[in-house]
Amino acid sequence: MFHDEDNSVPEKKDYVKLKIEIRDALKDASFRKVLTQILLDLQKDVAGDTRKKLNELYRQLDLHHDAYKKLNDWRWYVVSQGIIELTQMQVVDSFNFITKFINDRRGIIRKQAEIATVSLKPEGISYFLDTTKFSISEWQQLKLMEVLRVMEHFRPPSFKTWLVSGNRDVVLFALRLIRHYNQNDAAASIIELVKHKNERIKLEAILCIKEFCLITALDTLKAVFPKTGQATKIEILDTIATLGNEEDLEFLKKVEQSSSSFLVKNKAQMAINDIAPETFIPSKGILSQKELEASELAQEQHEHFITEEIGKIAAESKTTAIAPESVPEMNQELEVLSVEEPIQEQEDIEVFQIDLDTIEVDEDPEPKTPFENEEKNEPSFEIGVLDKALDSSINAQIGLLNNVEADVDMLPHEDLPEAAHYFDLSPEERLTFIALLEESATEKEIGLLEEVMQKEEDSEIRYRLFNILRAIQNKESGSENIETETTAIDSVFHSLFEYASDLDSKLILLREISEVGDEKEFPLLELLENDANPMVRQQAKKSKEALIERLYEVNSPKVTTDNTAVEEVSENFEEPIVDQETDPSENRLPLELCFLEEIGIGVERKSEPEIAFELTEEFYEEQEKRISLGE
C-alpha cells in the first residue's frame, strides 16, 4: 500500500513479488472475502492519503467486482452489503449501478442506495432528491445530513428547487437543508409552506422563518395559527416573539385570553413580554396591597413597641431583678404570642427578645428546605424557625438580665444612658455584652460604642469594638462586605512576608508593621498569630497590640476626654491614621512664636499638635510687668 515509484530496485522486486502472490491467493473466494473485510475494517481507522491509497488498492485487487456481484443477489442483506462496500471504498464507477436501487421496494436496500448516491458524488444529493419516490424516514434524513456534513468539497445546490416536490418528505428534507446551509433566498416558498397540511413541514418552515428573520411571514403565521397543533402554535408564538412588534400585541393578547392550553397561554405571555417588557408581571406568591399595608402597620407597631419596652425594662431593671424561674414561662408565652398575634399582643418582656430575632430572621431568612413549599419558606415570626445561634443569643441575653441588675442599660439603644453602666460590669459580663453587640448592634449604638472604646483599657476589647463600629459604618455606606472582603492578602506586607527568606527578616517585617501599618494589616497579623513558628506567633501578637495601641492611642482618654477627641476618633475610623511623628513639620512652632523656645516654652513633642503648648495667665502677667518696667 505504501509502495512508491522512487523506491529502490529490491523493494520494487519485493513489491511485484508480493503482488503476484496476492493475485494468486485472490483466486480463492474465502481469501478474497477475508481480505475485503480486513480492508473495510482498516478503512475505518485511516484517513487522508492513506485512505485514498487503501481505496485504490481495493480497486486494483478487483475486490469491487465481488461487491458488484453482491448487487445481483436475491437476499436483501447481501445486496445491502455490496452497496455498503462500494460506498465505503468510494468506487465512484458504481454510482450508476447503485442508483437503480434508489426506488427499490426493499426498504433497507433502498436506504443504503440513497446513502451511497449522496456519498459517491457531490451531485448525488440532487439526483436523489430528484428521483426518490419513497418517503424518507427521520433516521434516514439524519444520516444523509451526516454524510453531507463530512463530504469533502461539497458545494450545496440551491435546495429551494425541491420545495415544490410532490414528495412531502423531499420538501421536508429540503427545508431542513435550507436551514442547515443558511440558504435564505427562498422566502416566498418558505412562507407558503407554512400553510402546508403536514405539521412537520409547517413546523420546519416556521423554524426557517425564525432563522432567516422573515418578518413578512408574520401575517401568514397569524392566519394559520388556529389550525395548527400545539407544538406548532408554540413555535409560531416564539417566532412572533422574536420578529414581532407592537402591532402583534393584539394578536398575542387574544391568544393569551382565548387559549385553553396552559403551554400556549404561557408562551403567549412570554411573547407579549418580549415585545412589551413587563406587560405581565409576576402574580404568584405576591402579597396583595391590603396585606402589604397590614405588614407595614405591623412593622411600625413593632418598632414602637420595642422602644417602649426598652424604656420599661431600663426603668424596672434598676429596681427589680427578673426572677430566673420566670424565664421558661416567658418563653412559653412568647411562643404562643408569636404564633397567634405577633404584633398586637406584645406586652410581655419576652416579646422583646422575639423582636430581636424577628429582625434577624427578616435580614437573613432560614435557608429553604426542599420539603417546604415556597409559602412556608417565607420569613415567619414563628420562633420555631429561628436559628439555634439566635436562640443562644436570646439565652445569653436572658442570662445577662437575670444576673446583672443594671445590665439592661447596656442593651443597644439610643435612649440608654451613656456607657457608665458598662464599666460596672465584670470582665466576663463585658465580653458577653461585646458578643451581643457584635450580633445585633446598629447605627444607634455608635455613640455608645465610641464612648466605651475611649474608656476601655483592654486593647482586645477596643479592637472588637472598633470592628463593630467599622461593620456598622460599612453597612451604612452600603458596603457590608468590606469587612469580610478584607483578607491577609490585602496587606502590603503580605507579599513581603511571603518572600522573606529567613526568620529574622520576618520578625523585622512584623516590627515594621506595628510602626507603619494600618488596619489592613490586622488580618495578616491574626493569620500569623497561628503561625507554626512560636517566635513569629509571639511577635505577631506583640505587633498587633502595638498597632492597636498606635492607631487608637491618640484618642485615648489619657490624652484627652473632650468632645473634640471623640470626633477625631470617629474621623480616624473612616480614614487610616497617619503616624504623627512621620511629619516633622507638625512638631515645629510657627515662625512668629519661635521666640518662646528661648524663654523655655517648647512643643510637647508627644502630644497632639493642635494643643501642643499652652501659655498660662502668669506668663502674660509677667510679660506685662516686663513691658511696664521697660525691659
Partner 1 sequence: MEVSIPNIWLEYIDVIFMTFSVMLFIMFTFMGYFSTRNSLHYKNKNSFVDLSKIMASPLAPGITIIAPAYNEGLNIVENVRSLLSLKYVNYEVMVVNDGSKDETMQKLIEAYDLEMVAYPIDPNIKSKPIRGIYKSRQLSYSKLVVVDKENGGKSDALNAGIQLSQNQFVGCIDVDCLLLPDSLLHVVKALFQRSKKRVVAVGGVVRVANSCRISGGTLEEIRLPKNWLARFQLLEYTRSFILGRMAWGRIDSLLIISGAFGFFDREIALAVGGYDTNTVGEDMEIIFKIRRYMHERREPYTIEYIPDPLCWTEVPETVDILLNQRDRWARGNLETLYKHKDMFFNSRFGRLGLISYPYWFFYEWLAPLLEFFGFFTIILFWYLGIINWDFFFALTATVYMFSIMFSFYAILWDVTTYNNYNKSKDILTLMGCAIIEPFVFHPLVVCAAVRGNMTKLFRKKVGWGVQVRRGLASAS
Task: Return residues touching partner 1 (CB under 8 A).
Answer: 76-77, 80-81, 84, 107-108, 112, 134-143, 145-146, 169, 176, 180, 231, 262-263, 266, 368, 370-374
CA contacts within 13 A on the Cβ side of 233: 20
The CB-of-27 to partner 1 minimum distance in angstroms stands at 27
Instruction: List the Cα angle 222/227/231 in 5-degree steps.
Output: 85
Residue 609 has a CB neighbour count (10 Å cut-off) of 15
The CB-of-142 to partner 1 minimum distance in angstroms stands at 5
Closest C-alpha among 435, 406, 437, 436 to residue 422: 406
Q: Which is nearer to partner 1, 261 or 395 (CB)?
A: 261
Distance CA 356, CA 390 (A): 9
Cell 456607657 locates to 419
Q: Which is nearer to partner 1, 175 or 349 (CB)?
A: 175
Instruction: List the Cα angle 510/511/512 in 5-degree steps.
Output: 90
Q: Which is nearer to partner 1, 207 or 566 (CB)?
A: 207
Distance CA 590, CA 599 (A): 15
The CB-of-389 to partner 1 minimum distance in angstroms stands at 21
The CB-of-261 to partner 1 minimum distance in angstroms stands at 9
Q: Which is nearer to partner 1, 200 or 455 (CB)?
A: 200
Return all residues near 244 (Cβ < 8 A) that are at least 6 apart: 218, 252, 271, 275
Q: Which is nearer to partner 1, 284 or 290 (CB)?
A: 284
Distance CA 209, CA 172 (A): 14
Q: Which is nearer to partner 1, 264 or 394 (CB)?
A: 264
The radius of gyration of the chain from alpha carbons, rounded to an integer in Å, stands at 45
The CB-of-108 to partner 1 minimum distance in angstroms stands at 6
The CB-of-284 to partner 1 minimum distance in angstroms stands at 9
386: left (phi over 0), alpha (psi -120 to 50) or beta: beta
Cβ 603 vs Cβ 615: under 8 Å: no
Distance CA 174, CA 161 (A): 8
The CB-of-141 to partner 1 minimum distance in angstroms stands at 6
Q: How far is CA 424 from CA 149, 395, 405, 419, 551, in A?
A: 86, 21, 11, 9, 26
CA torsion angle for 551, 552, 558, 560 (degrees, to 10)? 100
Return all residues near 567 (Cβ < 8 A) that are at least 6 apart: none
Question: What single letter denotes the amino acid at residue 337?
Answer: L
The CB-of-332 to partner 1 minimum distance in angstroms stands at 31
Q: Which is nearer to partner 1, 137 or 395 (CB)?
A: 137
The CB-of-2 to partner 1 minimum distance in angstroms stands at 27
How far does CA 12 lie from the centroid of its chain?
Answer: 67
Q: Which is nearer to partner 1, 176 or 464 (CB)?
A: 176
The CB-of-82 to partner 1 minimum distance in angstroms stands at 11
Q: Which is nearer to partner 1, 377 or 572 (CB)?
A: 377
Closest C-alpha among 490, 485, 454 to residue 469: 454
Q: Which is nearer to partner 1, 45 or 325 (CB)?
A: 45
Q: How many residues does the chain have?
A: 631
